[in-house]
Structure 1
Amino acid sequence: MTSTTWSLVQYSTGGDEVRLGFSADGLVRSAPAELAGLDTMTVLQDWSRYKALLTDLDVDALPVVEDATLLAPLTYPNTVLCAGVNYYDHAEEMGTARPNPAAEPFFFLKSPTTTITGHDTNIAIYDDGRSRVDWEAELGVVIGEECTGVSPDEAARYIAGYVVANDISDRGVFHRDGAVFPAFEWDWVGHKSQNSFCPIGPGIVPAWHVPDPHALKIRLDVNGTVKQDSDTSQMVTNVYQLISAASRIMTLAPGDVILTGTPAGVGMPRQDFLHDGDVVTVEIEGIGTLTNTIVLK
């Protein structure tokens, strides 16, 4: 097994073709012959086969792609499932009751094909006086094998890897006045599934390079000003418990992404929101750095 920590990426070289590659030490390298012509979803859909090749891969021996432009590392999963209020420090800043780790986690969905975008891309927001767009740095878990009803002790074997994510949220459209019924007061689609509201990247770090997903520093800044600075030990429901709980609701498929919640430091409690031209950077220790720029629609 190579000692170099790498991530699985997708890139282009100026055309429309999506190519599979590897990123390590700031360089993008092309895939070996055995993976030529594949994309990330194809590899994940046969993860048990390709895992053996990847664990023994000498990434440093692969050719460097000088003109590579990184794309979203995963296009597109069947499901993007998100855990709500899953950090103790975030629950405290939002004024909620202290979460009970024994309780079932709360999940919501993002639309995969409309929300997912990659590193160094723009996120377009409305300038309509109503939208109030917030950031949420998150660790994303990428599923490598189909699973249904697994226990927390079994969950690790179904993980392909981890990715940096930003659960962009429009707080301004979340609540609807005059709903016909109280259950319809909350607009999760408008809140979470606007175009490009789930940047992920730059790549997927395989699980064997992440000894403990609950011991990673997680940090977000806007225009260089630190907003979130915490670590994944603050999770209420850990990665394995989230997979177990999610797999009791639905069958998880290869490539599915679970966002594991955000720590303290979001803009909502301070009414501090994103604006045209803002540059948002999320960094997770050992996983990578994800940067996006806010523009107006």
Structure 2
Amino acid sequence: MSVNPAPPSAPFAGPFALATLSSPGGPEFPALITPGELVVDLRIALDDVQLTTRRLLEDWAALLPRLRSLAADSTVAREPLARFQVHAPVEPRQVFQSGANYRRHVIDLHVAHRAPGDDRPEDVRRAEAAEIMDRRAAEDLPYVFIGLPSAITGPYDDVVLPSWAEKPDWELELTAVIGRPAHGVSVEEALEYVAGYTIANDLTDRATVFRRDMPQIGTDWLRSKNAPGFTPLGPWIVPAEAVADPDGLRLTLKLNGETMQDESTKDMIFNVARMVSYASQSAQLLPGDLVLTGSPAGNGMHWGRLLRDGDVMDGSITGLGAQRTRCVAGVAS
């Protein structure tokens, strides 16, 4: 179910973006979105009735010039976006997620979790945490784990909060969309494998992040992050060529109209190139795969206010549009 049958206006950088849409009752299809929220059906424009957004990304280098031409061609048929339902822009095969990747956020967590008996002033402990973050950025590796594609939902769909989720929280994140197979790529070449960028809200149930029955096991990302609909994605994929600096974008999340997260990707400890390169050292990244780059300060745990039935989240990132999702209480099974 959608909060808005006609999505809110969501401007994006560049002359076009990619979307996955459907007419009422019809199948999903890949579309070109052009300024003025106009839609080009790429099945028709590219003469391929079986076309999907992921297939576009699998042939990204060859098709990108054609997409540029279609966006610039005023004779190509276009329809208003308001006639269509907006879905997650791509169905990935793999989802790579990141934690503890925003400097201020991690410093705040470090300061908040004071060790027993540590009576030093906050400014001293904060300076210590800052030094640790500098050392981590210079010497350590990103923290990446795997998510499930089945958790992805559309950018305007309702988010069902499972009855077992005691502390559901938001995490707005810049997401890189892979455009060609990548394995063992260097930091210097990593961005060449990124087709574009989109928005993800990587929801987490804080109560189930750590196993209570066996604490020595550590984190349980399956339980805490992968409920159906826990990753609203989109609305668009904006081509990387239209995003001048992915490390200088503003992320903003509002809860019921009140700003909760407001940070620049400059605050990332490991930037997009380092995240993509690191993930590719272990796994082969495939076209359409997602690399989520972590969430900045301002989560619900910070504010002491977790998600509940009826909450509306508005998330936006500079040049990538905006998403709006409403929380709905799940029914106990």
TM-score of the two chains, using structure 2 as the length reference:
0.83
Query: How far off is 1:186 after superposition?
Result: 2.4
- Deviation for aligned residue 1:4: 4.6
Q: Does 1:105 align with 2:142?
A: yes
Work out which of the residue numbers 60, 72, 90 in structure 1 matches 2:105.
90
Matched, 1:200 2:233: yes
- Please say if 1:68 is aligned against 2:81: no
Q: Sequence identity of aligned pairs in percent?
A: 34
In structure 1, which of residues 201, 213, 219 is the aligned counterpart of residue 252 of structure 2? Answer: 219
Q: Does 1:243 align with 2:276?
A: yes
**How many residues are matched?**
290
1:6/1:59 contact within 8 Å kept:
no
Q: Runs of 4 or more off by more than 4 Å in structure 1?
A: none
Rg: which structure is higher? 2
Shift of 1:178: 2.8
Q: CA 1:219–1:116 in structure 2 vs 1: closer, same or farther (change >3 Å)? A: same
| 8 A contact 2:16–2:71 mirrored in 1 | no
What residue is the counterpart of 1:255 in the other structure?
288
Listed as ranges, the matches of 1:1-297 within 5 Å are: 4-25=14-35, 27-32=37-42, 33-34=45-46, 36-37=48-49, 38-58=51-71, 61=74, 62=76, 63-65=78-80, 66-74=82-90, 76-95=91-110, 97=129, 98-99=132-133, 100-102=136-138, 103-112=140-149, 114-128=150-164, 131-179=166-214, 182=216, 184-297=217-330
- 1:30–1:108 distance in 2 versus 1, CA, 3 Å: same
CA distance in 2, matches of 1:254, 1:269: 35
Greater alpha carbon shift after TM alignment, 30-39 vs 163-172: 30-39
SS at 2:181 equivalent: coil
Q: What is the letter of the counterpart of residue 153 of structure 2?
A: T
For 1:202, give the aligned amino acid.
P
CA distance in 1 between partners of 2:258 and 2:228 (Å): 25
Q: Is the 8 A contact 1:73 1:200 kept in 2?
A: yes
TM-score normalised by length of structure 1: 0.92
Q: 1:89 and 1:57 mapped to 2: Cα distance?
A: 42
Structure 2 gaps, min length 5: 1-12, 112-128
**Kept in 2: contact 1:21–1:28 (CA 8 A):** no
Mapped contact 1:7–1:24 kept (Cα < 8 A): yes
Please state how far the C-alpha of 1:27 moved relative to its aligned partner: 1.3
Aligned residue for 1:142, secondary structure, equals strand
- Hey, what's the Cα distance between the residues in 2 that align with 1:4 and 1:157? 18
Give 1:36 shift: 4.3
RMSD of equivalent CA atoms: 1.8
**What CA distance in whole angstroms lies between the structure 1 residues aligned with 2:259 and 2:20?**
29
Shift in CA distance, 133/161, structure 1 to aligned 2, threshold 3 Å: same
**Residues 22-56 of structure 1: per-residue CA shift (max 9 Å, x gap):** 22335140235215421101101111221221233
| Structure 2 counterpart SS, 1:120 | coil
- Taking a change above 3 Å as real, the CA distance of residues 226 and 60 of structure 1, as seen in their structure-2 partners, is farther
Structure 1 residues 4 and 246, CA, compared in 2 at 3 Å: closer, same or farther? Answer: closer
Q: Point out the more displaced range, 156-165 or 36-45.
A: 36-45
Which structure is higher in helix share? 2
For 1:26 and 1:94, locate their aligned partners in 2 and report how far apart those are by CA, in whole Å: 42
Partner SS, residue 141 of structure 2: coil
